[in-house]
Amino acid sequence: NAGVTQTPKFQVLKTGQSMTLQCAQDMNHEYMSWYRQDPGMGLRLIHYSVGAGITDQGEVPNGYNVSRSTTEDFPLRLLSAAPSQTSVYFCASSESSGAIYNEQFFGPGTRLTVL
């Protein structure tokens, strides 16, 4: 199993550009989520999904869109990039958010810089 994969690893955008961060998992996990990690702020939840076709907002959803058309994929879209979105983005998945055992598996991250 590849686990959780994220592409790209690095990205530089100009203000106002749009892009999609890709996340895929091959573990048939129901629950997937996106976090951003900024220095001194820990991980903050952007959006999450408890299954295909279901998404919900986390703590910092503004400026980001998600969709979950398949169990495997959970892309994160930046509609109009802003310098405040410069961060490291992590995708994670788990068997089920409601399961007793819900260890999160993390991808390697995407380091995004918005100029």
Partner 1 sequence: SQQGEEDPQALSIQEGENATMNCSYKTSINNLQWYRQNSGRGLVHLILIRSNEREKHSGRLRVTLDTSKKSSSLLITASRAADTASYFCATDAGGNTPLVFGKGTRLSVIA
Chain residues that interact with partner 1, rule: CB under 8 A:
4, 33, 35, 40-45, 48, 50, 56, 58-59, 90, 92, 97-98, 100-109
Residue 12: CB minimum distance to partner 1, A: 17
Residue 16: CB minimum distance to partner 1, A: 28
Residue 17: CB minimum distance to partner 1, A: 25
**Contact, 113 vs 47, CB < 8 A?**
no
How far apart (Å, rounded) are the C-alpha atoms in residues 76 and 11?
14
Q: Which residues of 28-40 are buried (b: 16+ CB within 10 A; e: fewer)?
A: ebbbbbbbbeeee
Among residues 17 and 22, whose Cβ is nearest to partner 1? 22
**Contact, 36 vs 82, CB < 8 A?**
no
Among residues 17 and 86, whose Cβ is nearest to partner 1? 86
